Amino acid sequence: MNTVIKVEKLVKEYKGLTAVKGISFEVKKGEIFGLLGENGAGKTTTLEMIEGLRKPTSGEISVLGHNVRNEISEIKERIGVQLQSSAYYNYLTLKEILSLFGSFYTESLDPDDLLKMVDLEEKAGATVNNLSGGQKQRFSIVASLVNDPEIVFLDEPTTGLDPMARRNLWDIITKIKAKGKTIILTTHYLEEAEMLCDRIAIMEKGEILMMGKTHELIESTKNPFKTTFIATSLSKETLKELEGLGEVNELAGKSHHFEMMLKTQVNLNKAIKIVQKLEPESITVGRSTLEDLFIELTGKRIGGE
């Protein structure tokens, strides 16, 4: 597969702060690449340097074979950018905004077709102020598609949305990918990254902690197996027995609610047998998630909002 974005030893320093500390990665044509991390991890700064909005302190970026430093106007014609919490003109209708933004490019798509793609055709004559949060975000994404770009940049596309609106947006992002476009997005929702991204880079404090195909990353965790159960009669002896097989944690908040992380299938089978003897109220068995990997890497849960 062709490489469409190549980032090498990228550094961004602000006065007294290094926001991005020499990261390198590549994005391949047609994939969804996710930059995952907490607020302040350097995701947006990285994205904005690739978009040409911020100047890197050092390092090289090439997008579609052009160097960001001196060929940014060629790049801008062929990329679409959705900014984090950006607004649009208040006194223009959605259709007028799309047609205006289209006029900035040598070629552009029909505003009606674009609005139809995100189910906003009925809002064509409305202004941005009259849209709900989810509609605004859908509009913001479709506005980044006016020039039929080859690469689409989405900066936290679902932040602040309710679960329904978020799923709706995932569908739209999948549709964009299906058109053969490359998508690079940032998110701090682990399930979103797990659901959407072909490959991810986990960022923390300006560095990439881990990068790879999403499923391979999850499988590479120390404890890829997982079981959760509710047992009221867990004796100290049984607990010790279980701890010999893997990590046992009592979940904060709920009582008698345990989670167990295990290295091997064999240990998992043994553990389930022990738990079943306790006649648990509930038992579920599964694989570890991206969140488990994240906790393992950073020693903490990612901030919800």
Partner 1 sequence: MKKLLLADIKMLLRSKQTLFWSLMFPLMFTFIFGSFFGKGNNSVGTVALINESNTELAKSFDKAARDSGIFTIKDDINVEEAKKLIGKDQLSGAIVIPKGFGEQKPDAPKNIKVVYDPAGQAGRTLIGFTNQFLTAANLEIQQAKPIFSVEEEKTNTKQFGYFDFILMGLIGMALMNSSIQGMSIAMSKYREDKILKRLTTTPLKVWHFIAAEVTSRLLVNVIQVTLILLVGFYMFDAHINGSIFLIYVLALLGALLFQSIGFVIAGLSKTTNAAEGMSTAIAIPMMFLSGVFFPIDQLPKWLYSIVQYLPLAPLLRTMRSVALEDASPFANPSNLILVIVWVVAALIIAAYKFRLADE
Contacts with partner 1, residue ranges (CB under 8 A): 51-55, 73, 76-77, 79, 81, 83, 85-92, 96, 99-101, 103-105, 147
Give least dist CB 130 to partner 1, A.
14
Whole-number Å distance between alpha carbons of 36 and 68: 23
Instruction: Give the nearer residue to partner 1 in terms of CB position, either 75 or 211.
Output: 75
Give least dist CB 65 to partner 1, A.
17
3-state SS track over the chain: CCEEEEEEEEEEEECCEEEEEEEEEEEECCCEEEEECCCCCCHHHHHHHHCCCCCCCEEEEEECCEECCCCHHHHHHHEEEECCCCCCCCCCEHHHHHHHHHCCCCCCCCHHHHHHHCCCHHHCCCEHHHCCHHHHHHHHHHHCCCCCCCEEEEECCCCCCCHHHHHHHHHHHHHHHHCCCEEEEEECCHHHHHHHCCEEEEEECCEEEEEEEHHHHHHCCCCCEEEEEECCCCCHHHHHHHHCCEEEEECCCCCCEEEEEECCHHHHHHHHHHHHHCCCCEEEEEECCHHHHHHHHHCCCCCCC
Give least dist CB 55 to partner 1, A.
7
Give least dist CB 83 to partner 1, A.
6
**Interior angle at CA 11, CA 7 and CA 14, nearest 5:** 145
Instruction: Give the nearer residue to partner 1 in terms of CB position, either 88 or 258.
Output: 88
The answer to whether the CB of 193 falls within 8 A of the CB of 249 is no
Give least dist CB 87 to partner 1, A.
4
Instruction: Give the nearer residue to partner 1 in terms of CB position, either 78 or 270.
Output: 78
Give least dist CB 107 to partner 1, A.
11
Give least dist CB 203 to partner 1, A.
21
The candidate with the shortest Cα–Cα distance to 163, out of 133, 203, 120, 199, is: 133
Instruction: Give the nearer residue to partner 1 in terms of CB position, either 47 or 293.
Output: 47
Give least dist CB 124 to partner 1, A.
16
Instruction: Give the nearer residue to partner 1 in terms of CB position, either 79 or 201.
Output: 79
Instruction: Give the nearer residue to partner 1 in terms of CB position, either 99 or 220.
Output: 99
Instruction: Give the nearer residue to partner 1 in terms of CB position, either 83 or 295.
Output: 83
Residue 224 in tokens:
């890829």
Instruction: Give the nearer residue to partner 1 in terms of CB position, either 133 or 244.
Output: 133
